[in-house]
Structure 1
């Protein structure tokens, strides 16, 4: 066991407890002893000096809050004695930034097996997509989902339905609920889809999206929804698309088609459009079934072929974060991001509310002043809308975040930004904009887990790495989402959700670089379809369009 504490940056005046430190204990760091008058829980922090109200607390080398009460040396920071604060930022304050690509010689000839598309992009999976242009068609989409998934071998195992059937049988036989708790559970392995009966061997799935928009909201929301669906249509993991429309809604077919053409003027994927108000529901559904089935036979002809790692587009996301996120899993993703960028690939860092406090560093890292200015404008506009609604980026940490050591948004953000590594920021993307260049990109999304992964996928991510300290099942319909644990306890507690463990970094068994390289190996296997993510195994197809309102 290594040191029980960690000081992340030499500028910091707060130290992280790597395990719970009892009240009255003394710990040492870099030749200095600290007496702890109160217990400091694992993942929480104590200060290295006496602080008066208004004094700044620094972590990761940046301001993360100010003392609201006197805090003595060795005392923990809490929501009672610390309030969020961060340094001001501006494009006018840009200073030179330097970064050299990593040595990636060992990875240069590595490949993954993906689906090569006509526009030069490579998909990690081969999906058919079914979407409703308006919420009125959600029911029909779900009926199609049940029919296609059951008959073509994509349905999830019916373990829970079987359990209800068993309970119903016992209740009918006995007329009582006594003893129901004694009914044995099915083995966990039975919850994993085998796809043994899959008819179309090269079609990885048919994905059915539903939502609550398309009409009744603002025209801007309708335009954004069409832009989002267009981004999914041109996504390399999508080989064909079926669109259901009512006919009178704000999200018009022409808007969707225009948005697709804007992103890919040579769009040539099978695209089938059906309008409900042209006839009966039976006619709508029967035609959609026939055409979609025909499309599946077409895309089943695609096969996986080797592609260089430069064709990876990796989303970088965190959720259910804890006090270890910024010192294990997020820096691991940062190193992996630098590896992918050094190989000529893309990485996509989202969640603008969780970049609060590190804006100036990212502004400095932008390759041009124009991109820095775009980032600054997007951040200020977003923050302004939150403040106009009586909210703030400072309200971003959830109760679970706070309980596990993320006391202020700036603490959370400084750790979250570590997912972006050290590479230059090659581009800044607004919501639904498509990543067109190699390198690290900043993607404007909320911190909300599903709104963020929905937006990262729209930007073109063909795999998403999602760090978590508390655990979340979050997935995406068309982009595999790998859950990366910040600590080994979580990885052991939720093995059906977690794909990779960064706990060895906390324990000192592995360096950040070693852990990141091990993770990259799993990414290659996942991108090649050799392993399914836990979210894919669970059928966790989360999709929430952002209406561009206040969502933190």
Structure 2
């Protein structure tokens, strides 16, 4: 196993692949670097003496400038490096791309749910939408009833654990000596509707009380979910007096002439009681479920896939293992005619020029520039900025500046041309790689990807992130093996073998594609789906990094 890595020939820092001791001599490319500091795995050290203001290069791009003199072999820290990124602009570059060989995948199929608009879902969900936060409690009541009765509830081991604690307490036993590891998991009830993969509830805090623009954006977001290929039917609960009126939402949902899914609408202020609302909603939805259950999986071309690529809880290995492996998967998918979505605009800070130069037209490039500039200006107007994106966990595990984080995050997009740039809630319509304007916030980003049509999400993580999406199966890809050892209950794929040298990026990328095909066919259920990690957070277009 190599002990250090130089990511790009232009770089002037090395990445530690394992813990390195102070005073140790590191041999690399006919040079010996005597370490002035201990360097933990994932962190970096300087390859040369540098003065304040000198540029630091990683991934071949500017990622920061040193703030004080540093010496060859000294560790990179927030004390000696600040964020910096190169200026960007349209340069009329014609993107060149060598697509990977996909001949062995050309005839491959996945088993999906074919919709009347020509799209193909990787799952078959029934969706509950509230027009306003006032209906969240009613959604919770209905969710408890339907999930428990129809077999969609998570294994009730924690309820059993609470029951055991209560029994111990009532029996006079000591609770401090109660062993949580003694808990035995119980089998969850099997699903009654074989072809319904889940009943999903999009609780939110909008629809009224904010600006009318917020309500309109929420309407477009909810309508995008109703139109999602993974959704078979929709139940809408409305209060009646809120900003987001039911008719507005229905108009947004049905603006496409191909929309033919069943929609059930119930308005509480037109009912005699809350009980009547809940009973009739459950009754009518149950009837709808019996019809949606008749839809079965049938073969579909891999070109019908739409895969979102996302990172969260990133570490210093994310940009050299999980992200480039997912990037190779993205290139395979694009070569097969599928759609790939890259979001998180704050995490493209420093990678903008590459995305601009890869844009297929000037219009695409200029839309990206406009959205990035507007977003950045909004952050700066409140005293913030993209440079404040890295979290304490990111920094602790080697991502010292936003440009370092972004340069590694952009690797998830592979190397293919950028065919389109989508504003928040805009649908992806073109095969190939599209950029989607969302925050870096994990759930806001996955929420936006699904709204643009992602039917699977590849979510890389170096620290461990327990999140998913309500309608889009989310596959967790770890950057390192120790994370899988600690948090294997939420991780699906281990890219640690890339760090150890046991596997190449190409091998790992092909493995990830095979996993995607199995998930898309319903043959493998990702951990996030098993755990009902149905996260959904609308973005109000305020400053969220």
2:130 pairs with 1:138: no
CA distance in structure 1 between the aligned counterparts of 2:351 and 2:252, rounded to whole angstroms: 33
Task: Give 2:533's match in structure 1, choosing from 517, 522, 540.
Answer: 540
2:59 pairs with 1:64: no
2:41 pairs with 1:48: no
CA distance in structure 1 between the aligned counterparts of 2:182 and 2:491, rounded to whole angstroms: 21
Deviation at 1:97, TM superposition (A): 2.3
Task: Give 1:254's match in structure 2, choosing from 235, 247, 250.
Answer: 247
2:465 pairs with 1:469: no
Residue 174 of structure 1 aligns to a residue in which SS?
coil
Q: Tell me what 2:237 maps to.
A: 244
Return closer, same or farther for 1:169/1:27 CA change in 2, 3 Å cut-off. same
Is residue 123–residue 236 contact of structure 1 (8 Å, CA) maintained in 2?
yes
Is residue 152–residue 198 contact of structure 2 (8 Å, CA) maintained in 1?
yes
CA distance in structure 2 between the aligned counterparts of 1:4 and 1:132, rounded to whole angstroms: 53
Structure 1 segment 179-218 matched on structure 2, within 5 A: 179-180=177-178, 182=179, 184-187=181-184, 190=185, 194-196=188-190, 198-218=191-211
Q: Tell me what 1:376 maps to.
A: 369
2:331 pairs with 1:338: yes
Is residue 84–residue 408 contact of structure 1 (8 Å, CA) maintained in 2?
yes
Deviation at 1:160, TM superposition (A): 0.8
CA distance in structure 2 between the aligned counterparts of 1:537 and 1:549, rounded to whole angstroms: 32
Residue 320 of structure 2 aligns to a residue in which SS?
coil
2:264 pairs with 1:265: no
Could you give the per-residue CA deviations for residues 473-529 of structure 1, whole angstroms, max 9, x where no partner exists?
111111100000001111111110100000111000011000111111111111111
Residue 182 of structure 2 aligns to a residue in which SS?
coil
CA distance in structure 2 between the aligned counterparts of 1:490 and 1:17, rounded to whole angstroms: 17
Deviation at 1:183, TM superposition (A): 5.5
Residue 303 of structure 1 aligns to a residue in which SS?
coil
2:405 pairs with 1:406: no
Task: Give 1:276's match in structure 2, choosing from 268, 271, 276.
Answer: 268
CA distance in structure 2 between the aligned counterparts of 1:131 and 1:249, rounded to whole angstroms: 14
Is residue 156–residue 188 contact of structure 2 (8 Å, CA) maintained in 1?
no
2:496 pairs with 1:503: yes
CA distance in structure 1 between the aligned counterparts of 2:188 and 2:28, rounded to whole angstroms: 51
Structure 1 segment 1-400 matched on structure 2, within 5 A: 2-91=1-90, 93-174=91-172, 176-180=174-178, 182=179, 184-187=181-184, 190=185, 194-196=188-190, 198-262=191-255, 264-279=256-271, 280-400=273-393
Q: Tell me what 1:419 maps to.
A: 412
With normalisation by structure 2, the TM-score equals: 0.98
2:450 pairs with 1:453: no
Deviation at 1:94, TM superposition (A): 3.6
Could you give the per-residue CA deviations for residues 305-340 of structure 1, whole angstroms, max 9, x where no partner exists?
011110111110000000000000000011000000
Is residue 331–residue 419 contact of structure 1 (8 Å, CA) maintained in 2?
yes
Q: Tell me what 1:513 maps to.
A: 506
Deviation at 1:537, TM superposition (A): 1.1
Is residue 45–residue 77 contact of structure 1 (8 Å, CA) maintained in 2?
yes
Answer with 286-295 or 138-147: which moved more.
Answer: 286-295
Is residue 46–residue 77 contact of structure 1 (8 Å, CA) maintained in 2?
yes
In structure 1, stretches of 5+ residues that fail to align are: none
Answer with 29-38 or 450-459: which moved more.
Answer: 29-38
Residue 515 of structure 1 aligns to a residue in which SS?
helix
Residue 135 of structure 2 aligns to a residue in which SS?
helix
Deviation at 1:177, TM superposition (A): 3.3
Could you give the per-residue CA deviations for residues 392-422 of structure 1, whole angstroms, max 9, x where no partner exists?
1000000000000000000000000000000
Residue 129 of structure 1 aligns to a residue in which SS?
strand
Q: RMSD of aligned C-alpha atoms?
A: 1.1
CA distance in structure 1 between the aligned counterparts of 2:92 and 2:24, rounded to whole angstroms: 44
CA distance in structure 2 between the aligned counterparts of 1:131 and 1:241, rounded to whole angstroms: 7
Is residue 477–residue 542 contact of structure 1 (8 Å, CA) maintained in 2?
yes
Is residue 2–residue 500 contact of structure 2 (8 Å, CA) maintained in 1?
no
Is residue 94–residue 360 contact of structure 1 (8 Å, CA) maintained in 2?
no
CA distance in structure 1 between the aligned counterparts of 2:183 and 2:61, rounded to whole angstroms: 50
CA distance in structure 2 between the aligned counterparts of 1:184 and 1:56, rounded to whole angstroms: 51
Deviation at 1:176, TM superposition (A): 4.7
Deviation at 1:281, TM superposition (A): 1.3
Answer with 283-292 or 15-24: which moved more.
Answer: 283-292
Deviation at 1:153, TM superposition (A): 1.2
Return closer, same or farther for 1:530/1:194 CA change in 2, 3 Å cut-off. farther
Is residue 475–residue 527 contact of structure 2 (8 Å, CA) maintained in 1?
yes
**How many residue pairs get matched?**
544
Deviation at 1:30, TM superposition (A): 1.5
